[in-house]
Chains A and B, each alone.
Chain A
Amino acid sequence: MLLIDCPHCGPRAELEFSYGHEAHIERPKAPEALSDAEWADYLFLRDNTKGVILERWVHSHGCRRWFNVARDTVTYEILAVYPMGAEPPALERKTYV
């Protein structure tokens, strides 16, 4: 069980949080202008990186705030926690073969 450092509440056990999948996927400004394939890409297709990924979490059983996390999917190490809307911090986007 991960230990996640909520920016508002401090480090808490994973069971207080809900997962929000990949971060930085912006809703298209003009959905009607997209082809079905482009819309499907936004709606369903996500990276499956073996390495550092940027993802969203929400402290559902705490402050109910969303935030972003950079996490290594191999070691599960959390490398950064940063607010919604912020650019990802500069860090090595390590991947594994």
Chain B
Amino acid sequence: MAQSAPAAARSSQPFRLSEGGRIDRSRSLTFRFDDRELTGHPGDTLASALLANGVHLVGRSFKYHRPRGIVTAGAEEPNALVQVGRDPRTEPNVRATQLELFDGLGVSSQNRWPSLEFDVGGVNNLLSRFLPAGFYYKTFMWPAAAWETYEKAIRQAAGLGLAPSKPDPDHYDKTFAHCDLLVVGAGPAGLSAALTAARAGARVVVAEQDFLLGGDLLSDRTAKIDGRPALEWVAEAEAELRASDRVRILTRTICFAAYDHNFFALHERVTDHLAPADRPEGLPRHRLWKLRTKQAIFATGAIERPLVFRDNDRPGILLASAARSYLNRWGVRAGSEAVVFTGNDSGYATALDLKAVGVRVNAVVDLRAAAEGPLSEAAKAAGLRILAGHAVTGTEGDKRIARLRAAPLDADGKGVRGSGQEIACDLLVSSAGWSPTVHLHCQAKGSLAWDEAHACYLPDRSMQKGQAVIGSAAGAFGLASCLAGGEAAGREAAGALGLEAKASRKKTQAEDRDFLPMRQLYCVPSDKPLGQGGKHFVDQQNDVTAADLLLALREGYRSIEHVKRYTTTGMGTDQGKLGNLNAIGIVAERLGLPLPEVGVTTYRAPYTPVSFGAFAGRDVDALLDPVRTTPIHSWHERNGALFEDVGQWRRAWYYPKAGEDLHRAVAREVAATRETVGIMDATTLGKIEIVGPDAAELLNRVYTNAWSKLEVGRCRYGLMLKEDGMVMDDGVTSRLAEDRFLMTTTTGNAAPVLAHLEEWLQTEWPDLEVFLTSVTEQFATMTLSGPNARKLLAELCDLDLSTEAFPHMSWQEGSVAGVPARIFRISFTGELSYEINVPAGHGLSVWQALYRHGEKYGITPYGTEAMHVLRAEKGFIIVGQETDGSVTPLDLGMDWIVSKKKDFIGRRSLSRSDMADSGRKQLVGLLTQDPKVVLPEGGALVEAMRDATPVPMIGHVTSSYWSPNCERSIALALVKGGRARLGKTVLCPLEGGKTVPCTVVEPLFFDKEGDRLRA
């Protein structure tokens, strides 16, 4: 057997048929699975190539480490998940059934240690009665502290594959697209719809997850359309669609999500199928399509359901349709001696096809009392051995099924008679029926209706306009119905688009075979009670059994959503595509309810997993987020600044000289600003021009203070509240002219403040004649601050800068270094300060001129950190640092700026009863009783320490620095009833048990009279 072939031996693909299928036998591809080198052909998936080599065992199960094999031939695969490629170009949990083979492909199996054939974790299988459903919940709920220990053990034992250890070296892309009609699925129904709509002139996108068009027809060796092999019709349809410039066919593309108003997300795997050396340089690995369409048709097919019987998870047990696909599409027989286990007519198609290529079909075990239906009849005629009214009651075999037992089934399906007969086999295929793939319809909130005859949910009504479901996804299981339904839907979509679809020349002829009659059993009985002598797996990926579901019901869970979460059924990467309906059926039977009353679990995107890379696209590294820099940025860089991010802005943080750390550099910058003159780049402050006859009135309404009487040429500080009374922003606004103001905002709030003002203007006060324009980036702003600011500016400025001619809180237009400028005498440092605005393009040259002339005074550039210290020394707040959306002007002790005479946004909220509560948190200063200790920002404050926790918290530190000018530490804090605590002690407990006593003081530490400001 190939399974025991020595490593590196070339396989001859012993299970490959000599002819047939959609593979190219003239070329061989070499690939590696764990340490074995094997071959396949172009057209193979990894799964088909493994089966051609006789390899069924591909992984160990998640919880019990049971040997598992390939079950399906598509996206619904629960077991055959592999790790592809080498770190960092490695991807876990890739479905072998969808992984296209290329030369040199290297994959490894997952969840086994030390090897797939010999796995230590298999001992979990023996311990399984100690690992029931809900085990994780029960074990880890308490004590909480034990979680860390358990988690490590779980991470070792469980898990599916390994994440790469380094950043993804591949690149990804995103694209937006629009079309008239999106057709999802290119089987007979989808192709027929696309052809009809395209012929009518619609712009059509066809999305197909497979690399070939044709859907189920690819797996059918007998289907005929118009009397010819169906794949000839597919080829002609594809050729016609590809020839049309209105049609785009996306293969290897899964439409994984439906959003509102016919917006869809599609995941295209662009180069994964190529050998790395063949991947074109310019192409992304994956592409995320964001597609808006006017009409959508879901032709997504149906997925066969497996039967749930005892030990139904051994390698060599497949879906009947999958074994048929491997045979017909890939020329691979999945075994030599087969048994077919079915409850409907469609299982016989596999039996007949297997027999036709010489596989020994030892029995067809049929749940139905009598084998009926066209294929059943054909099987009888072909002389197949049929055990009607029988059930498979158990299987045996180590790493591959070797035999099974089949016994007569009771009429009610609840038990079997006797221990039955043993039948040898190395392949067992099962078919319980078919579940339409209604995911997109349901994601779009479409409703479902239960079809008792087919035992499946069918799409009922679409919630959104312009959506249709066709083909077997809509319960049309016969080929003729698919073709006719596709044509009708294509015609209807064209009509909705205002296009006319001509009637086709003649009706397409095909057989219309359903899989009825069927007998539905959600759980096949064995000769022992459920849970004894073996396991009935419902969800193979998460190792959930029928007994687990019943345990959840015994423990009181009733909602299917709760049962799902408790047992984890349907929560793997396959999202229960195979198991969910069986789980619902088992729950319904035990509860004694009709299945529809149990409901279905919610269908959520994505249909299949999507790579993070596709979502990220090109928005990584430098392109993750725009970086905004000021016109003076290059100077800061040249002068050794370190930067901090403030929103998207990159601001100079501090300018360390050789050997300086943050602390020493900031101390130097702060001292120089107080002693001589500092210069800071303040360009990032938001600037909004407010223009119009009602400009002052707008300010009256949005600021807490009054603005009408502000003279032209004067500046005023303003505090802006939200309607709930909480501080939103602050800044200085200057009157440029009778009808023109320049508002400044904090750096981070420039856009929100503009949006806030626009909202009020447009929605509440359309009568105000005011226009708002953001001019943040039009001006470069530099602040000269310190006792020598006036002397320095005078050297370069044409204005009289004396306090008489140019007092504090005023502005003038003049020139600085020959450049027209607005000069504002305002201060955030408490020193004599000038904020100079020049057109952005002149920013760097004016800065350089000021710096050159300032060198004789020892001019010192200072960054945001020094600015924070300087303003904290003066007790000036920073919105977002001293405030957090729950702080009023009264809390800040800023009653002085709150007008009593006029209404403004937020005013009424300030008179709500709890605003006057003396226990509210209020802004105060803190002085540590040891002046050398600097409190941590964010540090919690308490009244007294207690042995028992929790200790009630009375506030927190909002700002804290070493103040070189005070020669001690200083801090600002919000403290409950803070103003009543002046002079009292509060404690700041630190990590490690240390507690810092602090005295509550007024929030002002330096130049309390403000003489320096007005100098």
Contacts and interface: CB of A to CB of B under 8 A. Distances in A.
B463 A75 contact: yes
Given A43-B724, A65-B762, A66-B762, A1 B907 contact: no
Contacts of B908: 28, 31-32, 34, 39
A1 B263 contact: yes
Contacts of B90: none
A66 B758 CA distance: 9
A64 B759 CA distance: 9
Interface in B5-59: none
Contacts of A64: 755, 758
B165 interface: no
B261 interface: yes
Interface in B388-405: none
A2 to B, nearest CB: 5
Given A1-B259, A1-B260, A64-B758, A13 B913 contact: no
Contacts of A66: 758-759, 762-763
B464 interface: yes
A10 interface: no
Interface string B687-726: 0000000000000000000000000000000000001100
Residue among A1, A32, A34 with max Cβ neighbours from chain B (10 Å): A1
Interface string A36-80: 100100010000000000001010100011100000001111100
Interface in B732-782: 755, 758-759, 762-764, 766
A58 B760 CA distance: 12
A94 interface: no
A48 B762 CA distance: 24
Given A31-B903, A43-B723, A75-B464, A1 B763 contact: no
Contact of A84 (B464, B763, B907, B913): B763
A31 B902 CA distance: 11
Nearest to A74: B463
Contacts of B259: 1
A20 interface: yes
Interface residues of A, number: 29
A3 interface: yes
A53 to B, nearest CB: 15
B263 A32 contact: no
A1 B913 CA distance: 42
Contacts of A84: 762-763, 766
A39 B525 CA distance: 66
Given A31-B907, A32-B908, A39-B912, A76 B260 contact: yes
Contact of B903 (A18, A32, A56, A58): A32
A34 B261 CA distance: 42
Contacts of A75: 445, 463-464
B800 to A, nearest CB: 41
B260 A2 contact: yes
Nearest to A27: B764
Nearest to B755: A60
A65 to B, nearest CB: 7
A40 to B, nearest CB: 8
Interface in B883-922: 903, 907-909, 911-913
Contacts of B261: 1-3, 76, 78
B550 to A, nearest CB: 35
B913 A20 contact: no
A36 B758 contact: no
A36 B763 contact: no
Nearest to B751: A60
Interface string B453-477: 0000000000111000000000000
B909 A43 contact: yes
B203 interface: no
A13 B907 CA distance: 37
Contacts of A74: 463
Contacts of A32: 903, 907-908, 911
A36 B759 contact: no
Contacts of B766: 84-85
A58 B755 CA distance: 9
Interface string A1-32: 11100000000011000101000001110011
A63 to B, nearest CB: 11
B439 interface: no
Nearest to A4: B261
B130 to A, nearest CB: 47
B252 interface: no
Given A3-B292, A36-B912, A77-B465, A20 B260 contact: no
B917 to A, nearest CB: 13
Nearest to A76: B260
B913 to A, nearest CB: 6
A2 B465 CA distance: 13
A60 B903 CA distance: 28
B464 A76 contact: yes
Interface string B282-312: 0000000000100000000000000000000
B909 A39 contact: yes
B646 to A, nearest CB: 21
Contacts of B755: 18, 58, 60, 64
Contacts of A14: 260
Nearest to A66: B762
Residue among B260, B464, B755, B913 with max Cβ neighbours from chain A (10 Å): B260
Contacts of B903: 31-32
Contacts of B723: 43
Contacts of A78: 261
Interface string B247-267: 000000000000111110000
Contacts of A26: 764
Contacts of B759: 20, 58, 66
Contacts of B260: 1-3, 14, 76
Contacts of A36: 912-913
Contacts of A3: 260-263, 292
Interface in B866-881: none
A19 B259 CA distance: 18
Contacts of B911: 32
Nearest to A29: B903
Nearest to A28: B908
Interface string B230-274: 000000000000000000000000000001111100000000000
A60 B752 CA distance: 11
Residue among A34, A76, A78 with max Cβ neighbours from chain B (10 Å): A76
B413 to A, nearest CB: 38
A76 B443 CA distance: 13
B912 A56 contact: no
B434 to A, nearest CB: 30
Nearest to B725: A43
A39 B913 CA distance: 12
A1 B291 CA distance: 11
A11 to B, nearest CB: 9
Nearest to A23: B763
A46 to B, nearest CB: 14
Contacts of A85: 766
Given A31-B907, A39-B909, 7 more contacts: A13-B263, A13-B292, A56-B763, A60-B755, A66-B759, A66-B763, A75-B445
Interface of A: 1-3, 13-14, 18, 20, 26-28, 31-32, 34, 36, 39, 43, 56, 58, 60, 64-66, 74-78, 84-85
16 contacts: A1-B259, A1-B260, A3-B261, A3-B263, A3-B292, A13-B292, A26-B764, A31-B907, A43-B909, A58-B759, A66-B758, A66-B763, A75-B445, A77-B464, A84-B762, A85-B766
Give me the 7 closest cross-chain CB pairs, A-B, nearest first.
Answer: A31-B908, A3-B261, A66-B762, A1-B263, A76-B260, A1-B259, A2-B260
